[in-house]
Amino acid sequence: MVPTIESPKDRISAAAAEGERLLSVIAATEDTAATLTQVKLDLAALKNIWYDADALYSELSARLKKEEKEFEDLRGSHIKKFFAGSQYKEKLTKEENDVIELLEWQAKADKTRKELKAKLDDMKERRQKLEHMLEQRVQALNDLDNLYAVVSDGPSPDNAEEDVLEAEMKAAQQIFVPIQSRYSQVASVFNYITMARSRVTFAAGSAAKALKISESDIFDLKAGAGIRANRNFNSAVADRKEREELGLVRRSLAEASQFLALAHELDPEVGGFIMPKVADGKSAVGRVDDLINTPVTDYLFHREIKATAEGIAAAGAIVDEELRLAEEKKSVWTEKRDAAGKDLKQAREKLQQLRARIFEDAVNGQGSSTAPSYEQATANEHPPQYIPFSYS
């Protein structure tokens, strides 16, 4: 069988088609490096928050195990039950309440760490995809260099127009890369502030629950009911529930502050909020309420909880303003990125169309079979090196 000899026209046509494919890969991965850099920064920051949440869960689990043992030992002690009398029942009730409280805290901590872990896993998967895309980009750039080398044999024509379009494409690329990098940064700031807003919202909800319980405690009402329930309402349990909700307030505000700090690292213009003073029962009023627990002390502690809620509202207003500003910046940089991306796409398409004509001229014998080198245009991308950009 006579082997098929590939004609120069077939070879160059095949090279032109492959060149279009490679340029499409390069265009599709234009912002990969900048996005990958920001994802890695976000991943590192989120890891620290997850470590804290996981450590809290481990600490609560250890405390729960200890409290459960103490409760079981006390409940199984016939000697203490016989000699301690009413004090034994009070202590047993307290131990049981401690176990219940820790169980609730452990469940909340477990939920938080699992939510953060899910976000971490999603971000890791995104990082892997971006790394793969970056590898494809580098490979496409190398293959494109080799492609032009393969079809370059013979006299060289005047390629002044190709040089001009190549320079225009490179200039558009130099404009696009820092804009894309800045956009990724601004988008991360917006996401961090959004997460801070969600934590402040959660804190406000917990404070509202504490206020509702406190109101029931003042009037000796069953929580959530509008009738007297002296026999059923346990003021000690109400106090414990108040402090549980206030504990959630403290933690939520701390997390909100962490997210704002992360946003500030990326954009120094982002401000924080003054941490509200959270009623925790450790003030003079709180301690008296624990010892005496009368409607008067309940009312005084209620005022502290109300002040906490007002402080959260003030913090929320500050975060809302930061979120508004961040959204405006994101909108501005989205427009800049889209415009720069459009210019880069047009510049690349012009260069691609010209090179296709050069290939066609070579097929028809009108031009040089020495195809223009892409090496100079991509010298800064093997491996991809991105232009330093100041965010000041």
Q: Indicate which CATH number applies to the domain containing 345.
A: 1.20.1330
Residues 172, 145, single domain; the answer is no
Structure token digits, residue 178: 């820092």
Note whether 134 and 170 are same-domain residues: no
Asked if residue 335 and residue 359 are part of one domain, the reply reads yes
**Is the same domain home to 91 and 190?**
no
User: Do 294 and 374 fall into the same domain?
Assistant: yes
Say yes or no: 177 and 301 in one domain: yes
Give the mean model confidence (pLDDT) for residues 382-390.
36
Mean pLDDT of 317-329: 95
Going by pLDDT thresholds of 50, 70 and 90, the confidence category of residue 285 is very low
Q: How many residues does the chain have?
A: 392
What pLDDT shows up at residue 382? Answer: 40
Lowest pLDDT segment from 38-42, 250-254, 386-390: 386-390
Residues 145, 250, single domain; the answer is no
**pLDDT score for 320:** 94
Q: Do 174 and 267 fall within a single domain?
A: yes
Total structural domains in the chain?
Answer: 2
> Under DSSP, is residue 384 helix (H, G, I), strand (E, B) or coil?
strand
Q: Domain for residue 261, yes or no?
A: yes
| Tens-digit pLDDT profile for residues 143-185 | 876 776 565 444 335 567 877 888 898 899 899 989 988 998 9
Residue 303 has pLDDT above 70, yes or no: yes
Residue 134 falls within a domain, yes or no? yes
Q: What is the pLDDT of residue 321?
A: 95
Given a cut of 70, is residue 283 above it in pLDDT? no
Q: Tell me, yes or no, whether 127 and 233 share the same domain.
A: no
CB 134 within 8 A of CB 36: yes
Residue 367 lies in a domain: yes
Q: Under DSSP, is residue 294 helix (H, G, I), strand (E, B) or coil?
A: coil
Residue 22 within any structural domain of the chain: no
**pLDDT tens digit string along 115-145?**
888 888 998 999 899 999 988 988 887 787 6
> So what's the pLDDT on residue 152?
45
> With a threshold of 0.75, does the pTM exceed it?
no
Please say if the pLDDT value at position 366 is more than 90. Answer: no
Tell me the torsion sign for CA atoms 219, 225, 227, 228. negative
Q: What whole-number distance in Å separates Cα of residue 121 and Cα of residue 322?
A: 28
- Domain that residue 142 falls in: 27-150
- Residue type for 146, please? N
Do 319 and 381 lie in one domain? The reply is yes
Residues 366 and 241 occupy one common structural domain: yes
Any domain includes 391: no
Q: What mean pLDDT comes out for the span 101-126?
A: 86
**By the 8 A CB rule, do 199 and 255 touch?**
yes
User: 150, 176, 200: which is the final residue of a domain?
Assistant: 150
Is 31 a residue whose pLDDT tops 50? yes
Q: Residues 359, 246: one domain?
A: yes
